[in-house]
């Protein structure tokens, strides 16, 4: 992955209150909706002076990036969406979630969202690692607010062109990724049925469990390279685009790949160039870059116009 990331500026964004060491929100804090989170991302693009985005999202982050691309299509050049569920929760799902919340701890509830039943039963080292991170690294009250908002999401309201009048769908190239027998498998398959087949790649990875970016990073990296090549980045793909960026939204975590085509030369900023090499990063917890250091953070507040006057803080690292 370093072959790719050395040519990109990587911008990593944490959803409000989900970063390591975050203070607990005050009583009565209203966590932003999924739509409001999507509406906050243009401020990150503007803050760093970028023009385009290639986004990688996991779970809730995939939903946020998809919503972002629907609202601001001119800012998005491509998306890699892992474990996306384009559907809102129905009454049965809502009741099941409420019941699960009464009988299971928050870490157990989130783990069942991330891993297959086989992985949970076998209680693999990976599952135990995520359990520790979810339970001890992320502020539990803040995570509960984010979890509640994610489960209150609406349908993405997308349809394959030609299936309904004035169909709305993602206009950019999209690569959908899901592991075989992953909890999100049905949702990703349905999302694939609603996107334009001429611009959509569907990658179903065998023997990868619920988190293919963690269990099969090499195969996913190769697929990502082919995806970029399909967007026109072949052989000398980065020439003339020395300042590009890359990022990932996950449940409580975001990284957005931001690309600036205004520059034709100059040195590539080196900060966090290797962060995507950690595509093994937990989607629920903040993780260090591969050299063990965390880039300098820029805290950024933004009001979401048109979606209600809301002021929330996001942590941004580049």
**Which pLDDT tens digit goes with each residue over 28-37?**
999 999 999 9
What is the pTM (predicted TM-score) of this model? 0.77
Q: Tell which phi-psi region holds residue 143, choosing left (phi > 0), alpha (psi between -120 and 50) or beta.
A: alpha
Q: Please give the pLDDT value at position 16.
A: 93
Q: Please give the pLDDT value at position 317.
A: 56
Evaluate if residue 160 carries a pLDDT over 90: yes
Matching residue, tokens 């609202």: 71
Mean pLDDT for 190-219 is 93
What is the β-pairing status of strands 311-317 and 174-179?
unpaired
Mean pLDDT for 255-262 is 37
Domains of the chain, with CATH numbers?
2-317 (3.40.50.1820)
Evaluate if residue 311 carries a pLDDT over 80: no
CA distance 94 to 107: 18
Residues in CB range of 232: below 8 A, 6 or more apart: none
Average pLDDT along the chain: 76
């Amino acid at each position: 992955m370093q072959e790719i990331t050395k040519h990109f500026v990587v911008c990593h964004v944490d959803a409000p209150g989900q970063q390591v060491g975050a203070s607990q929100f005050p009583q009565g804090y209203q966590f932003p909706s999924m739509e409001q989170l999507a509406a906050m991302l243009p401020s990150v693009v503007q803050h760093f002076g970028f023009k385009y985005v290639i986004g990688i999202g996991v779970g809730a982050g995939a939903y946020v990036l998809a919503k972002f691309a629907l609202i601001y299509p001119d800012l998005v050049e491509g998306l890699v969406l892992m474990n996306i569920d384009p559907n809102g929760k129905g009454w049965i799902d809502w009741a099941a979630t409420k019941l699960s919340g009464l009988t299971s701890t928050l870490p157990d509830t989130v783990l069942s969202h991330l891993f297959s039943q086989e992985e949970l039963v076998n209680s693999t080292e990976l599952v135990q690692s995520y359990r520790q991170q979810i339970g001890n690294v992320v502020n539990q009250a803040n995570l509960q607010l984010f979890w509640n908002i994610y489960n209150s999401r609406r349908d993405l309201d997308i349809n394959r062109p030609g299936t309904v009048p004035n169909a709305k769908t993602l206009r950019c190239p999209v690569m959908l990724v899901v592991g075989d027998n992953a909890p999100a498998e049905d949702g990703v398959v349905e999302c694939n049925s609603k996107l334009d087949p001429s611009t959509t790649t569907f990658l179903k990875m065998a023997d990868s469990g619920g988190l293919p970016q963690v269990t099969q990073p090499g195969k996913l990296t190769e697929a990502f390279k082919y995806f970029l090549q399909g967007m026109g980045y072949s052989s000398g793909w980065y020439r003339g685009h020395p300042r590009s960026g890359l990022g990932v939204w996950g449940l409580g975590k975001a990284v957005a790949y931001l690309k600036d085509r205004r520059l034709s030369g100059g040195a590539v900023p080196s900060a966090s160039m290797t962060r995507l090499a950690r595509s093994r990063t937990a989607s629920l917890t903040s993780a260090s870059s591969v050299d063990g250091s965390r880039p300098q953070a820029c805290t950024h507040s933004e009001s979401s116009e048109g979606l209600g006057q809301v002021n929330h803080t996001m942590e941004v690292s580049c």
